[in-house]
Structures are given as structure tokens and as C-alpha cells.
Amino acid sequence: MPTMKRRVDGVLLLDKPAGMTSNAALQRVKRLYQAAKAGHTGTLDPFATGLLPICLGEATKFAHTLLTADKTYRAVIRLGVRTTTGDPEGAVIATRPVAVTEPQVRALLPRFTGAIEQTPPMHSAIKRGGRPLYEYARQGLQLERQPRRVMVYRLELLELTGEYLGLLVHCGKGFYVRTLADELGEALGCGAHLHALTRLAVDGLRLEAATGLAELEAMPTPDRLQRLLPTDALLQALPRLELGAEAAWQLSQGQAIWHPGLRVGEQMRAYGPDGRFLGLVEVNEEGKAAPKRLVVRTPAQPDPTGT
């Protein structure tokens, strides 16, 4: 007998275990909550662990906002070994002796910090001719890729123990930590690959607040529901727009509204007079806050104007 689906709205901060795809983790969570809709905010590789925000119900409308958000990782790089994929899932293609010191590493880190050019790896989901690059890579093909401008806000040496190098990486969208590992290994003269990766933060969301999958499965349903953050947790980086009853109703009907202090092109999270989250708005060329994505509430709100 199929499981009955129900409406569940909110954001779960999941601590994804190693050895599981992001989609498999998503499906496990969706079943646990018996949710009708679910989505994640950007994949983690199967070997990687850490923060995977999962959106349920109405929160799926805003999952895209974290795809371009800043992210923070703890990376473990294995020196002396290069692989086909730049991570532990690939075949070894070269080994070299390692004689690296902490001063050498620290001297190189500024080269990979700030606004830099980075060439995406072949084993990535970037599309070419409608197909992700990793499909070509699996066929042994190497396609030309154009370097892209990416941002690294912070790159800090955590430890160097034998052949293993630990780094803290705070980066912007489009940055590949596996490429960093490969390029840093070449700069050090020994080669390297990304051995382990843990996502510590996505924008303002932190791993410390996340729940492991095994822990979540062991919980009774009420406790599991308590782990959900509200839908607007995905939008905390945006300014807050407070609306009166009439403006809130107009917005909920899809109308653009005027409000003092708006700037054309600005995106904001809108709230009604009762403090309830209404959705995402964007200021149009007329200087009005136009609905971009609104949450659906039930029962429907009455028209406060009485018309």
C-alpha cells in the first residue's frame, strides 16, 4: 500500500553521510516526512559529508536562492597522488614523493584567494551540447573548457600531517574544491587530489544545527517535525519588507504594491501584519514590489478591503 503523502513545509538541515548521493539522501528524508514535495539546494558528491539543506513543500519554491550562495568547507587533500576525477572516486594517474612544509603551503594560498580564474573539471555537471561534462569524461573524452571567474573569500591552512593537508575554504558560487586540490598539488610539485570534503555552511545556515540521517530516522514524528526550520530560513540574507493588511492581501493576489524606500531590482522577503511570511518580491521598473514567488497558505485569506 503506497504511503499517504501530506503537506509539510519547511527546511531540514541534514548532515549528509559519506557514501550516499544527495538525491538518495533527499528521497530518504522525503519518505520520513511523507512529504508531497521535496528538493535540495545544491548537491554534495557521494564521498562528501556535511550540510545539505533539504526543502519540503512550499520551501522548494525558494531552493534556488542557495544555489548561488557562499559556502564554507573543510577539505582534506592528499598530497602525492593525482586521480582522474580529482577526488577519491577516480583512478590513480600519477604518484610522486611528498616533501612539503607548512611555510610552503602558506606561501601559495594567496595565489588561490580572492577573485581568481578557475577551469571547471571534466567531472562536473556543467552542460555541453545538452549533456553534463562528466558523461564525456566517462567516455574518456577531454573537452576544452573556458576558465571562469570565481571568488574565494578565505583559504586557511588547518593542518599538515604527512601526506594529508587540511584547509578551510570559504568560497562563492561555481568554485570547485577538487580543482583547487589539483592545482595546489601541482604548485607544490607533488600532485594531489581531494581526499575528503565536509560542507560546514551554506550562506547563514550552519552544520552545527544539522541532524544526521540515522538520528532523524530514530526520532518520533513530533520530534522530527520540530527539526524543520521555517521556509523563510532560506532568505535570511535578504532585507525584510513589512506590509500592512491591505498591501499583504494585494500581494497575495499577485499585484505589485508601492512601498516607501524601495530600490529597483532589489529582492526582499515580504511579511504580513501578523508576521507571517508571504514570499519573495522584486522591485520592478515602476518602483513597486512585485511578487516573484509566493507561499500558498490555507485557508485563503479574506479580502481586508471588503471589496
The residue ranges of every structural domain in the chain are 10-69+204-233, 71-202, 238-294
Which fold, 238-294? Answer: 2.30.130
pLDDT band (50, 70, 90) for residue 149: very high
Secondary structure of residue 138 in the 3-state scheme: helix
- CATH code for the domain defined by 10-69+204-233: 3.30.2350.10
Question: Which residues lie below 8 Å from residue 241, measured CB to CB, with a gap of 6+?
Answer: 259, 268, 269, 270, 271, 281, 289
pLDDT at 208: 97
Nine cell digits for residue 162: 604527512
pLDDT in tens, 197-216: 999 999 999 999 999 999 99
Query: Same fold for the domain at 10-69+204-233 and the one at 71-202?
Result: yes
Q: Domain 71-202's class?
A: alpha beta
Please say if 203 is a catalytic residue: no
Secondary structure of residue 195 in the 3-state scheme: strand
Secondary structure of residue 196 in the 3-state scheme: strand
pLDDT at 41: 84
Distance CA 304, CA 294 (A): 18
Q: Which of 9, 15, 45, 232 is catalytic?
A: 45
Nine cell digits for residue 17: 553521510
Of 165, 64, 25, 182, give the one whose Cα is nearest residue 106. 165
Instruction: Give me the amino acid identity at 240.
Output: R
Nine cell digits for residue 275: 508576521
pLDDT in tens, 241-280: 999 999 999 999 999 999 999 999 999 999 999 999 999 9
